[in-house]
Structure 1
Amino acid sequence: MQNAVVEVDGRRVWGSTATSYPPLLRAGTRVERCHDIELTEALLLGYDGRWGEPRSLAAAHARLAGTPVPPDPPPRAALPPGDGQGTLFEAAPPPADDPEILSKVYADQGHRLSLVGQPGRFKLLVAAESAGALIAVEMGAVGLPWRADIHHKLLVELLGEPSAVGGPPRRLAELTARINDAFGVRSLHPESPAEVLRAFTRAGIQLPNTRAWSLRDVDHPAVPLLLEFKELYRIWTAHGWAWCDAWVRDGRFRPEYVPGGVVSGRWATRGGGALQIPKVVRRAVVADPGWKLVVADAGQLEPRVLAAVSGDTRLAAAAASGDLYAALATDSFGGDRAKAKVALLGAMYGQTGGAAIPALATLRRHYPTAFDYVEAAARTGEGGGLVRSWLGRTCPPSSAPLGFSEDGAGAGARARGRFTRNFVIQATAAEWALTLLAMLRGRLAGTGAELVFFQHDEVMVHCPADRADEVSEAVHWAATRAGSLLFGDTAVRFPLDVSVVDCYADAK
């Protein structure tokens, strides 16, 4: 394979895993470890506060050579399986990476890695990010088991029969008529927020938007109909018949995962909406005959991460239990679990009003080290500074287009503070989950089990039924190993809820 050109320290070195690995995988070559130049360059540029600069191999080499830096190529359009050329007439493979350029850029990145504040942690981040890129390609190739017949049946149950002329299905058409009747009009389109807002205005009701939480506070006969319509319309447009016909082939849903696609390090997908599968649609995710789905979900991950990174011994002691919120309640909140949860989430997400005020006061009094950790991140953000995750992923600068003001004061600064407050926790949680995934991939090698899904703090393995217990043990081991790799000797536990099921919808 022409892109497999450099191997250093037992790692395949290439410009982009997403480009170079698929041809190897199709040819039956499984790569154990790699170094992804593009993903590493993005991390290093971010660390230097140069977020958003070109990160391709060509760009990295141009910076090293002191020549003009070319822009990154635009993202490829997402194509459902079967939309491209057939396997008999494969598209031309990408140009081979130049071995000399790869070696020079790899050496330069290694030097830059040694200069960061915590090089050991940052190297772990780079290794986990590159391992994640391998897993993303493999999961896209294997695909998530998907029963199109079950999917079509549940769509009929929810939406009614599809329209013969391509319009909304029967249930949506009926709801549209009832919503029009409730407003006393004839041609309102419920999927149009502008039309719905005008209808409420004519009824003497002023609303800021048509989001569900705004509608629930309104006493009007159209509200329950609109809420039902919104839920069903979302399923029809995002995971309806057209989606299933386009994205499901040979019993598998094969999305394209994008490691590090979110600024916090969480994954995204290109096409298919794999990370937003509604619970009701999960009924179509069914293991093959003789196989099982092992679904693992990390409970209370971000609060546990806060306990680990802050070094708050009292919070870490609470996080050594199975239910962190219950332990906090017993320790400091008079047994009130709900109050303990409000306090901890308020501290991490910047919820400082209403019921959170007394709860936060209790949290600050009993867990000052953890509270000060997120407060310091918020103050840094409000002042326009950069914060980093535990392993060194750096948040975008305040000039990045993240949806809040850049004025450095007032509402814009507070929004920036809420972002950086959570970034240090969410990005670290993403690192823990990615490390778990990398550990699990290695543990499952040669077992026949397949990683088929990963979403934030949830992972799914498709395996022969007689290996389900072995896979469950491997998942627990990987969670423990990820915690020790990131945080060393800590009292904090990272428990998983693990379900062995035939259908994804039956998981805990």
Structure 2
Amino acid sequence: MVSTVVLQRVGDGVRAHLDDGTAHDLARTDLSAWVAAREADRPRWVWDDTTRWYPQLLAAGVRVERCTDLRLTHAVLRRSPHVDQQLLDDGGWDALAPVVPEEATLFALDDPADALDPVAEHARQQRALAASSERGRLGLLLAAESAAGLVAAEMQHAGMPWRADVHDRLLTALVGPRPPAGQRPAGLEAMLPGIRAAFGQPGLNPDSPVELLAGLRAAGLDVADTRSWTLRELDHPGIEPLLRYKKLLRLVQANGWAWLDTWVRDGRFRPVLLPGGVVTGRWAAQGGGALSAPVQLRGAAVADEGWRFVVADVAQLEPRVLAGMSRDTAMAQAARARDLYQGVVDAGVVATRAQAKVGLIGALYGGTRGESGLVLPRLARRYPAALGLVEQAARAGERGEVVTTLLGRGSPRPGPFGGSGDDPVAGRAADARRRSWGRFTRNFVVQGTGAEWASCWLADLRNRLWRLGEGSLTDRPHLVFFLHDEVVVHTPAPLADQVGEAVRAAAAEAGRLLFGSFPVDFPLDVAVVHSWADA
């Protein structure tokens, strides 16, 4: 049985390299049927980049179970300190970028991927993995990363049900009817006289940061910029309506009618999501703003007739990941509570949930001042392994060293910190840069491992959902949205309870894959709803 098939574009056709040493040349029009016929044998499809191959297969009704995305896996191996870099070769792979749906044609002209050799690259990656002292963990990361590529393509293909009429109604309720191009909505326009009067600036234009800054200073306010968190520090009656205006303006600019025209087609929202798009391994969005979907507009996401959304998110993912990767049994005990922060309180470490939350967030992000700084010593005494792990990562970052996630994703190297013993000002600036980079590496190890847990969760859930139904991808329960620690599944209503069970089982399996038998729990909040806003 063939277990690996490497697909390569050759001229206007495709060459399929089988692991028995044979190769088959196919016309591009025959590729989908050829892949579908062999999918029953469950091969691992190897290709240069999922965004270049999978959309066309999905459009032809072909879903694959497994793949190796050489672009994604190359990026992981290239940065991992557990890999002998001499076994890898750039040859253009370092610069290979994904393509957006409008560009995703299998035989696009002047595609840089055509100059690459996937057979040679696959062999190089396999040799590098085999030679690594962490090949087990890295192998899991590469498989999860490639599966995430399949999930992203399938979510873009299926799209999230989105009602344009509801979206318009929600916007109208917030800011007034859709205005002519180039004009403010009436609701925003109506807010301006009050804001201008409050600051004594009849011509104040809050849409322009430059003009707004000048207007605030003219009103006697000592302010360095117009960022919302800066403005909140000011004591002035005009600040509250100004912040409300800015929040609504951002909503209109980011997810208003122009967004609706661009991103919603045929009742579906299809964002461009990029697994591994952030250095920590988290996903990025190349279009559609899917990673900041505003709560005010989630009511426009409405399941199809006879279908439901199953919405699930894991509580306090990063502290739970920290407990697992540090093997801190005391923190794992707190994580057995549905609310980990309350578990810390129940253990007698701090007095309130707010203290537990601010302390743990401070540990993850390097907060050492205020209440966080007061709480951290108590957390360190109770959870020495967990807080020791992030402290060690921070110190390594300050020394300019690479740190890794649990599965072996490496952090980028910092640039020179600079500084000199002869120049105290430069020395202080260099120390500040070191501390800043240490805060980055402190969080990198935990956020990156959280991304690895989420990729394993998605990979397992994807296959569980496929087994629940029959027919094509969109006839069965299928993923339509993912955001760090939250998933949305679109499912036929009769299967909603089974989907909820699958979501929980996949979360438990992700924990087992990363942390083995170590007892750290990942409880989920799961809701079955008709509208995303009801979750």
Q: CA deviation at 1:187?
A: 2.8
Among 61, 80, 83, which residue is 1:47 paired with? 80
State which of 483, 492, 501 in structure 1 corresponds to 2:529.
501
Per the alignment, residue 490 of structure 2 pairs with 462
Rounded Cα–Cα distance in structure 1 between residues aligned with 2:351 and 2:211: 48
- Per the alignment, do residues 242 and 97 of structure 1 end up closer, same or farther by CA in structure 2, a change over 3 Å counting? closer
Deviation at 1:496, TM superposition (A): 0.6
Counterpart among 225, 230, 237 of residue 253 in structure 2: 237
For 2:361 and 2:197, how far apart are their aligned partners in 1? 42
Alignment of 1:283-432 (within 5 A): 283-399=299-415, 409-432=430-453
Q: 1:168 maps to which residue?
A: 184
* C-alpha distance 486-414 of structure 1, shift in aligned 2 (>3 A): same
8 Å contact kept, 2:365–2:443 = yes
Equivalent position to 1:444, from 457, 465, 481: 465
Q: CA 1:92 to 1:101, structure 2 compared with 1: closer, same or farther past 3 Å?
A: closer
> What is the aligned-residue RMSD (CA, Å)?
2.7
Show structure 1 runs of 5+ residues with no match.
54-59
Question: In the aligned structure 1, how far is the partner of 2:525 from the partner of 2:226?
Answer: 35
Decide whether the 8 Å contact of 1:49 with 1:396 is kept in 2.
Answer: no
Equivalent AA in structure 2 for residue 41 of structure 1:
H
2:162 aligned partner, one-letter code: W
User: Structure 1 CA distance, aligned partners of 2:233 and 2:428?
Assistant: 33
Superposed CA deviations along residues 98-138 of structure 1, whole A, max 9, x for unmatched, are 89932222121011012333110100000000000011111
| Equivalence for 2:95 | 72
2:48 paired with 1:27: no
Q: Which deviations, in whole Å up to 9, do the C-alpha atoms of 1:44-98 show, x marking residues without a partner?
A: 1111499xx9xxxxxx9964xxxx658735665776xxxx89xxxx895577978
Counterpart CA distance in 2 for 1:72 and 1:341 is 40
Equivalent-residue separation in structure 1 for 2:444 and 2:357 (angstroms): 19
Q: Per the alignment, in what secondary structure is the counterpart of residue 135 of structure 1?
A: helix
Q: Distance in 2 between matches of 1:3 and 1:187?
A: 63
Identity %: 47
The aligned amino acid for 2:138 is: F
Matched, 1:105 2:133: no
User: Could you tell me how far apart the structure 1 residues matched to 2:416 and 2:306 are?
Assistant: 50
**Quick one: which of 454, 461, 466 aligns to 1:433?**
454
2:138 maps to what in 1?
122
1:220 aligns with 2:253: no
Matches of 1:24 and 1:224, distance apart in 2: 52
Check conservation: 1:383, 1:408, Cα contact below 8 A. Answer: no
Deviates more, 1:290-299 or 1:113-122: 113-122
Does the 8 Å contact 2:164/2:267 carry over to 1?
A: yes
- Give 3-state SS (helix, strand or coil) of 1:29's partner: coil
1-structure distance, mates of 2:203, 2:415:
44
Q: Who is 1:56 aligned against?
A: none
Deviations 1:374-402 (A, max 9, x none): 0000000011001000001111110299x
Q: SS of the residue aligned with 2:381?
A: helix
Corresponding residue of 1:57:
none
Residues 307 and 490 in structure 2, CA contact (< 8 A), matched pair in contact too: yes
3-state SS of 1:321 partner: coil
Matching of residue 181 in structure 1 with residue 200 in structure 2: no
- Displacement after TM superposition at 1:339 (Å): 1.6
* Distance in 1 (alpha carbons) for counterparts of 2:114 and 2:179: 54
Q: Is the 8 A contact 1:12 1:34 kept in 2?
A: yes
Post-superposition shift, 1:184? 2.5
* Deviation at residue 332 of structure 1 after TM alignment: 3.1
Give the secondary-structure state (helix, strand or coil) at the position aligned to 1:434: helix
**Conserved 8 A contact 1:263-1:396:** yes
Aligned residue type for 2:463: G
Q: CA deviation at 1:174?
A: 1.7
Q: 1:163 to 1:91 in 2, by over 3 A?
A: farther
Whether the aligned pair in 1 keeps the contact of 2:309 and 2:530 (CA below 8 Å) is yes
Task: Structure 2 unaligned segments of length 5 or more: list them.
Answer: 1-6, 8-12, 20-41, 418-425, 470-475
Aligned equivalent of 1:251: 267
| 1:47/1:3 CA distance change after superposition, 3 Å | farther
Aligned equivalents of 1:427, 1:394: Cα separation in 2:
9
Cα shift readout 1:317-376 (whole Å, capped 9, x = no counterpart) = 221222211111121325422222222111111101111222111011111111111000
Which residue of structure 2 aligns with residue 262 of structure 1? 278
Partner of 1:123, secondary structure, is helix
Kindly tell me the number of residue pairs found equivalent between the two proteins: 484
Q: Which residue of 2 aligns with 1:15?
A: 48
Counterparts in 2 of 1:10 and 1:196: CA distance versus 1, 3 Å: same
Seen in structure 2, the aligned counterparts of structure 1 residues 289 and 69 have a Cα distance that, compared at 3 Å, is closer
Shift of 1:301: 0.5
Q: CA separation in 2, counterparts of 1:299 and 1:28?
A: 36
The one-letter amino acid of 1:16's match is D
Conserved? CA contact 1:432–1:486, under 8 Å? yes
Q: Compute the TM-score of the two structures, normalised by the length of structure 2.
A: 0.85
Write the letter of the residue equivalent to 1:5.
Answer: A
* Corresponding position of 2:421: none
* 2:210 maps to 1:194: yes
Q: Does the Cα contact within 8 Å between 1:382 and 1:408 map onto a contact in 2?
A: no
